[in-house]
Amino acid sequence: MGIIRAAIGSVTGTLSDQFLDVVEPVDMGAQTLMTQGRMKNKSGFSRSDIISNGSCIHVYDNQFMILTDGGKIIDYTAEPGYFIVDNSSQPSLFQGQFKASLKDVWERFKFNGSSPQSQKVFYINTQEIKGIKFGTRNAINYFDSFYNAELFLRAFGTYSVQVTNPLLFYANGCPRNATQVDVPDINEQYLNEFLEALQAAINQMSADGERISFVASKSTTLSKYMADVLDETWRDLRGIEVISVGIGSISYDEESQKLINMRNQGAMMQDPTIREGFVQSAVAQGLQNAGSNPAGAGAAFMGMGMGMNAAGGFMQSASATNAAQMQFQQQQAYQQPQQQQYQQAQPEASPAAGGARAKQPGEWFCPECGTLNAGKFCMNCGTKKPE
């Protein structure tokens, strides 16, 4: 019992005029994984459990056709074209793009042979099934070494799957006696397993040191983690694999968002120009609030003056510190390229001098740190050149 490829010349014209029955797949939707074949004869389309000897089975691109008898697989093809049912022949097993990867599975599920009783044709979609939505029900913990904190996130997006071993998928992935299987029909079980694997994959990204803010842009890395986690239960057991994962949005719980904002503000305040801008904007805001005080601008400015006197020492000290750091940064930015050019122009130290070089005209040693300099300020500590 098996199928043989039909000659090109025998399938030209109207198929129903040349064969007793022609088997076609039921129309597949964008998320159809498996569907049963239907017979087309002079009376139209119908489903039947009996595939007549000599019937023609039509297989389209990106489809894997399985011929069964009594629920057991008796032949299959991964190649598109027309195939004739021949109950006197041995299984042809057209491997197509799957090559020899199906042989072991075939040995496990093949039909041992008896008179055909209830033959059916099933078509499995081998295209990538896209746009399967997911969303984490609970926040996933994520330790971020940059923030040095345990954060919690929620992820939403879509993923895609592909049947990579149709025999395994038919045997272990499809509900029994189903005539058509779409993603929503099996999504509850698969989605639960997917979300468990997603949490494991995100935790692995955390262990690998990825920033939490980079998770949304690491779809390729996340897909690899997901495939590694699901290989045993999905690919090796059911013949289906995760192809891609697209993170549509990442959200954090309230406490995590506060920690992230606090850390980002602290990082910004390390810049003296930003700190000085903050000081000046605070002073300007105080003047504006005083001018709009309904109790009277004079009283407001008097109160503000008292407050300014109390906080004046702090603000002046802060501004002076900010100015010193900004001046030092400007000096470093100016002196560094000049120092590099100067050092490149100097001859190497002679061995006779023990690796040291005498001070050249115009150079000076910093009285604070002892660094040899050529500019107006010490390139190490910023001390001004002595007069």
Reduce the DSSP state of residue 75 to 3 states and report it.
strand
Average of per-residue pLDDT across 146-168: 89
What is the structure's pLDDT at 353? 42
Q: How far apart are the first and last CA of the chain?
A: 105
What is the structure's pLDDT at 355? 44
| H or E element that contains 151 | strand 149-163
Cβ within 8 Å of residue 112, ≥6 positions away:
72
Q: pLDDT tens digits for 272-282?
A: 565 555 556 65
What is the structure's pLDDT at 127? 94
Please return the burial class of 257, using the count of CB atoms within 10 Å of its CB with bins 0-12, 13-18 and 19+: middle
What one-character-per-residue DSSP string does 12-40 give?
A: SS-HHHHSS-EEEEPPP-TTEEEEEEEEE
Lowest mean pLDDT among 262-276, 298-312, 351-365: 298-312
Q: pLDDT tens digits for 130-146?
A: 999 998 888 888 888 88
Q: Which domains does the chain have, with CATH numbers?
A: 2-125 (no CATH), 129-258 (3.30.479.30)
pTM beyond 0.85: the answer is: no
